Structure 1
Amino acid sequence: MEWLVAWLPWPAYRALDTLMSQGGMIMWVIFLVAMATLFLALQRWLTWRYLPSRRAPAPGEREALVIKAEYLRSLNRMERGLPLLKALVMITPLLGLTGTVTGMMLVFDGLSLGSSADPRQLASGIARAILPTFASMAVVLLGMFFLSLWQRQVRRTLQQNQ
């Protein structure tokens, strides 16, 4: 976690460290999935900006096939990261659920060991257990937004240029 100190200002690092320690180890996995989702979204955005426009060639023009091949190759590059983004969107809720189940197991394990059943401690433990689910839902919403955005862009581009 020392590498985060170099990247984040102190208050942001402290808040992130507190959040991650409350949610357990699964929160770091959810954090990595969120970073991968943002990376794929940024990569797709940069790729989309350099997508060549398909100009309508004159009939009988020899380079028409070369232009069309280059255009289809660039569209293929555009769709390249979408299956990975789909997989991340599908896996993230399961990661959150896993974090919640393991957190609830720790809460009930603490109760079974004979510690007092203080309602405040129980509520605090349950809130900590639900934290991974909340974080995973936020990451899923972000991933679904970018996934639907890029799928719509690819579909629209293919329909316009056929």
Structure 2
Amino acid sequence: MVLLLEAINALREFLDTGGQVLLVIAVITFAMWLLILERFMFFFGNYRKYKGEVLNRWHARNERNSWNAEQIRQAMISRAGIKLNSNLPYINVMVALCPLLGLLGTVTGMIEVFDVMAITGSGSARSMASGVSKATIPTMAGMVGALSGVFASTFLQRRAKREVELLEDKLLLDH
């Protein structure tokens, strides 16, 4: 219990040194990773069952060579593609938003530095330290959040594209 309280206090101190923007970056990054984990759970869990159902429905058809059958095949592939790409645009938006929020943190931190300089009338490093940390920590956090999301997002997009192509191959017209 003591260790948990120490961790919470350390996190609180870190968020205080980074300013309000750091909290927003943390919330966005957390939401992004929730969506990423949801996509991973879908790919490695629910999609296999869904793919099996689609293949069973297709192979249960008596007729698979007509124009109507091709339209049904394309609709099945399209629905699977929609399911596979669900939430990926939101993840990409959050990935793009993280560095922009980091830049906002940089600007607000530098404004604080200039305020301190205007109030004290000097460029004392001690008086500017708080503003400098509020300028650099959100930038770092925004970049870390964006980079972690870029790798996951790229993996998920490639996986979705590959799964759609594999499904297309399995739903051949003459089989």
State the TM bucket, normalised to the shorter chain.
Answer: 0.7 to 0.9
Residue 55 of structure 2 is aligned to residue 40 of structure 1: no
1:147 counterpart residue number: 153
Unpaired stretches in structure 2, ≥5 consecutive residues: 169-175
The answer to whether the 8 A contact 1:53-1:71 is kept is no
TM-score of the superposition, structure 2-length normalised? 0.76
* Superposed CA offset, 1:97-154 (max 9, x none): 0011011110111011125432344355323311000001010011111110110001
Structure with the higher helix share, 1 or 2: 2
1:159 counterpart residue number: 165
Q: d(CA) in 2 for partners of 1:17 and 1:59? A: 58
AA at the equivalent of 1:100:
T
Unpaired stretches in structure 1, ≥5 consecutive residues: none
AA at the equivalent of 1:38:
W
Q: How many residues align?
A: 156
Residue 3 of structure 2 is aligned to residue 16 of structure 1: no
Larger Rg: 2
Give matches, 1:28-67, under 5 Å: 28-49=23-44, 50-51=46-47, 52-53=50-51, 55=55, 61=62
AA at the equivalent of 2:33:
L
Offset of 1:68 from its aligned partner?
Answer: 7.2
The answer to whether the 8 A contact 2:77-2:167 is kept is no
Residue 76 of structure 2 is aligned to residue 75 of structure 1: no
Q: d(CA) in 2 for partners of 1:12 and 1:112? A: 36
2:103 counterpart residue number: 97
Q: d(CA) in 2 for partners of 1:137 and 1:153? A: 24
Percent identity between matched residues is 30
CA RMSD of aligned residues (A): 2.9
AA at the equivalent of 2:162:
R
Offset of 1:53 from its aligned partner?
Answer: 3.1
Q: Secondary structure at the match of 2:6?
A: helix
1:130 counterpart residue number: 136
More moved, 50-59 vs 103-112: 50-59
Runs of 4+ in structure 1 over 4 Å off? 56-60, 62-72
